[in-house]
Structure 1
Amino acid sequence: MKLALICTEKLPVPAVHGGSIPMMIDGISPFFSSRYELTVFSIEDPALPKEEMRNGVNYIRLPRTHYREAVANELREASFDLIHVFNRPLNVPLYKKASPNSQVVLSLHNEMFSEKKLTFAQGKEVLEHVSMITTASAFIKQSVIERFPEAEDIIKVVYSGVDLASYPPVWSKKGKDIRNEYRKRYGVEDKNVILFAGRLSPAKGPHLLIHSMRRILQKHKDAVLIIAGDGMTQYMEYLHKLALPCKEHVIFTKFIPPHEMPNLFLMADVFVCSSQQNEPLARVYYEAMAAGTPLITTNCGGNTEVVKHEENGLVIEHCQKPSAFVHAIDIVFLQPSLVKKMTRRARHRVETSFTFLHTAKRLDAVYQSVLNKANGKSMPPPLLQLPDLSFLKRLFAN
Structure 2
Amino acid sequence: MDIAMIATEKLPVPAIRGGAIQIYLQSSAEIIAESHQVTVFSIKDSSLAENETKNGVHYIRIDEADYLAGLVKQLEAHHFNIVHLCNRPAWIERLKAASPDSKFVLSVHNEMFSESKMTREEGEKCIQAVSKIVTVSDFIRQTISKRFPDAAEKIETVYSGVDLNAYHPAWTDEGGRIRRVMREKAGLNEKKKVILFVGRLSKVKGPHILLQAIPEIAREHPDAMFVFVGSKWFGDDQVNNYVKHLYTLGAMHPEHVTFIKFVRPQVIPYFYTMSDLFVCSSQWQEPLARVHYEAMAAGLPIITTNRGGNTEVIDNGKNGIIINEFDHPHEYARVINELLSDVQKREELGRNGRRLAETKYGWKRVAENLLDAYQNA
TM-score, normalization by structure 1: 0.92
Cα distance in 2 for residues equivalent to 1:336 and 1:250: 21
Residue matched to 2:235: none
Deviation at 1:234, TM superposition (A): 1.5
2:366 to 359, 363, 367: 359
Encode CA deviations 1:237-272: one digit per residue, 9 max, x unaligned. Answer: 111112221123211111011001110001111110
Q: State yes or no: 1:290 paired with 2:291.
A: no
1:330-341 maps to which residues of 2 (within 5 A)? Answer: 330-341=337-348
Residue matched to 1:91: 91
Any idea what SS the aligned residue of 1:348 has? helix
Q: State yes or no: 1:198 paired with 2:199.
A: yes
Q: State yes or no: 1:243 paired with 2:245.
A: no
1:304 to 289, 296, 311: 311
What fraction of aligned residue pairs are identical, expressed as a percent? 42
Encode CA deviations 1:78-136: one digit per residue, 9 max, x unaligned. Answer: 01111000011101111100101100000001111111111111101101110000000
Unaligned segments of structure 2, at least 5 residues: 233-238
Displaced runs of 4+ in structure 1, greater than 2 A? Answer: none
1:116-127 maps to which residues of 2 (within 5 A)? Answer: 116-127=116-127
Residue matched to 1:218: 219
Cα distance in 2 for residues equivalent to 1:221 and 1:168: 27
Deviation at 1:287, TM superposition (A): 0.4
Cα distance in 2 for residues equivalent to 1:7 and 1:201: 23
Cα distance in 1 for residues equivalent to 2:224 and 2:169: 22
Residue matched to 1:147: 147
Any idea what SS the aligned residue of 1:308 has? coil
Equivalent position amino acid for 1:251 in 2: T
Encode CA deviations 1:173-229: one digit per residue, 9 max, x unaligned. Answer: 101110111111111123111111001111100000111111111111111111110
Cα distance in 2 for residues equivalent to 1:336 and 1:220: 13
Encode CA deviations 1:277-306: one digit per residue, 9 max, x unaligned. Answer: 111001100000010011100111111110
Aligned length: 370
Residue matched to 2:236: none
Deviation at 1:20, TM superposition (A): 0.5
Residue matched to 1:384: none
Superposed CA RMSD in Å reads 0.9
Residue matched to 1:110: 110
- Decide whether the 8 Å contact of 2:204 with 2:283 is kept in 1: yes
Equivalent position amino acid for 1:7 in 2: A
Any idea what SS the aligned residue of 1:243 has? helix
1:1-398 maps to which residues of 2 (within 5 A)? Answer: 1-189=1-189, 190-231=191-232, 233-370=240-377
Cα distance in 2 for residues equivalent to 1:331 and 1:303: 21
Deviation at 1:24, TM superposition (A): 1.0
Encode CA deviations 1:24-77: one digit per residue, 9 max, x unaligned. Answer: 112112211122111000000001001111222110000000211111111100
Cα distance in 2 for residues equivalent to 1:368 and 1:169: 36
Deviation at 1:345, TM superposition (A): 1.1
TM-score, normalization by structure 2: 0.97
Cα distance in 1 for residues equivalent to 2:2 and 2:366: 19
Cα distance in 2 for residues equivalent to 1:37 and 1:337: 47
Equivalent position amino acid for 1:169 in 2: P
